[in-house]
Amino acid sequence: MPITIDGTNGITQAGEFNSDSSFGFKNRIINGAMVIDQRNAGASVTITNTSDTTYTLDRFGAYGSQASKFSVQQNAGSVTPPVGFSNYLGATSLSAYTVGSAEVFDIRQFIEGFNTADLGWGTANAKTVTLSFWVRSSLTGTFGGAVTNNANTRSYPFTYTISVANTWEYKTITIAGDTSGTWVGATNGVGLKLFLGLGVGSTLSGTAGAWAGSNFLSATGATSVVGTNGATFYITGVQLEVGSTATSFDYRPYGTELSLCYRYYQSIAYTANSILAIGLCTSTTNQECTIILLQTMRSNPTITLPSAGQTSGTISFLTSAGAYPATTGTNTVNNPSVNNFVVSGGSYSASFVQGNATWLYPNGNVTIRASAEL
Amino acid sequence: MYKLLPQQKTPNGLVDANAILRIADNAYIPFDPDNTDYQTFKKEVLVGAELQDADGNVMTDASAYIASLP
């Protein structure tokens, strides 16, 4: 790619830069360096929910058809991450479980349609993508995963080999874009699902390296991590980019990565003696206030409030004199939207004056959680 | 288990709340078809999960109620 500098034309270059991925924001995976862990702050999570995804590190979910077969933790085992990385996602098998034919245990990330629509999958113009990551396991052999559409009616199983136990290895997998099937376009729905298998049954496993009109979540014959008690599977530097070549990892500023995560999940912490929000007394027993979210979320979020009360870890509306009412009532969330929600106090003691100000007060440190995950 | 919320007082009178309480973790789930917790709520109630009205009574016509939602 010759570049010419002269006094007439300034800087010119002949040809094109070598790929669409030469610049920043090329990685469709959010939190690929496993830096953000809002929910658990580095604590281990045993995957017990057999009906839905359990979110672990931000944007990364885990699923097991049987409860308590593996755990997930940021920097599990405290090994040294690959050069250039400070964190990793660690999965640890909690038993030696033989995976049933229709069972699945995996790590997953679902990517929003707004962030995959340009791939043109499901059309004749489908773009090739490349997945790359660093991986380390106590096991060796052929491991598997898959990329699927939202409906799991199109899937591309893939394999990669871990050659040496307990050693970080860099893997790349190039996937020709799918020209068939129905793929969610530029919407806030699921545009693409990435699965990294930790043990996937035969009916959910398919031939690696080819698109199939089936629900395959891994490749046939892949190693089962949950099949060995204490086995570990660590991963970081996960990147999915346009093009047939894996390029260097897209390190984004921490604040930028955190903001990307906030679209899907927000853990909003308040310290002791702070104020969650100023509100209004709508009667002697009822109050209203609005809490603004940190960032516009993907959908109207699920809101989890601290309990109402006057003891440590609870919240209560205070009188306009800044005092606890005789009795704290109930706090209810109303009108959750992508930007804010209302907290309505009700059944408090008649300690308030209608029309006066009030504030929502935390006793000690409290956290509000907002989730709009895919 | 899930519970409906009381109607909201507005300048236009009482209106139905647009969120539902998931009792297990005190989470308020919006009536938004794009919200995955809302999708799960509808699926779980249709297969038998308990749904209470705003007064805490178990709804016997939960399936019909779910069918009326967006």
pLDDT digits (tens, 9 = 90+) for A156-190: 999 999 999 999 999 999 999 999 999 999 999 99
- Chain A residue numbers with beta carbons less than 8 Å from the beta carbon of B34 are 188-189, 298-300, 372
Would you give the end-to-end CA distance of chain B in angstroms? 20
User: Could you read off the pLDDT of B43-62 as tens digits, one per residue?
Assistant: 999 999 999 999 999 999 99
pLDDT (average), residues A36-45: 98
Q: Is A52 on the interface with B (CB under 8 A)?
A: yes
| pLDDT value for B11 | 79
Asked whether the predicted pLDDT for residue A356 surpasses 70, the reply is yes
Comparing C-alpha atoms, which of A77, A81, A47, A79 is closest to residue A64?
A47
Indicate the SS3 state at residue A15. coil
HSE-CB at A149 with a 13 A cutoff on CA atoms is 21
Cβ B35–A301 below 8 Å, yes or no? yes
Asked whether the predicted pLDDT for residue A16 surpasses 50, the reply is no
Asked whether the predicted pLDDT for residue A3 surpasses 80, the reply is no
Mutate which of B9, B28, B38 to disrupt the A interface (most A C-beta within 10 Å)? B28
User: Could you read off the pLDDT of B19-48 as tens digits, one per residue?
Assistant: 999 999 999 999 999 999 999 999 999 999
Least Cα separation, residue B64 to chain A (angstroms): 23
Question: In angstroms, rounded to a whole number, what is the distance separating the alpha carbons of residues A277 and A350?
Answer: 21
Look up residue A227 and give its two tokens.
């099949």
Least Cα separation, residue B51 to chain A (angstroms): 17
Helix H or strand E segment including B64:
helix B62-67
Question: In angstroms, rounded to a whole number, what is the distance separating the alpha carbons of residues B67 and A241?
Answer: 41
Do B62 and B53 touch, CB atoms closer than 8 A?
A: no
Residue A25 falls in which region: left (phi positive, over 0), alpha (psi -120 to 50) or beta: left
Asked whether the predicted pLDDT for residue A44 surpasses 80, the reply is yes
A21 or A107, which is more confident: A107
Percent of chain A with pLDDT over 90: 93
User: Could you read off the pLDDT of A188-218 as tens digits, one per residue?
Assistant: 999 999 999 999 999 999 999 999 999 999 9
Whether the predicted interface score ipTM is above 0.90: yes
Percent of chain B with pLDDT over 70: 100
Comparing C-alpha atoms, which of A281, A275, A276 is closest to residue A325?
A281
- pTM of the full predicted structure? 0.93
Beta bridge partners of A343: A289, A333
pLDDT (average), residues A35-59: 97
Q: Is A61 on the interface with B (CB under 8 A)?
A: no
User: Could you read off the pLDDT of A269-295 as tens digits, one per residue?
Assistant: 999 999 999 999 999 999 999 999 999
| pLDDT value for A21 | 52
Look up residue A252 and give its two tokens.
């984004």
Least Cα separation, residue A314 to chain B (angstroms): 13
The overall average pLDDT reported for chain A is 95
User: Could you read off the pLDDT of A105-153 as tens digits, one per residue?
Assistant: 999 999 999 999 999 999 999 999 999 999 999 999 999 999 999 999 9
Asked whether the predicted pLDDT for residue A15 surpasses 90, the reply is no
Cβ A344–B28 below 8 Å, yes or no? no
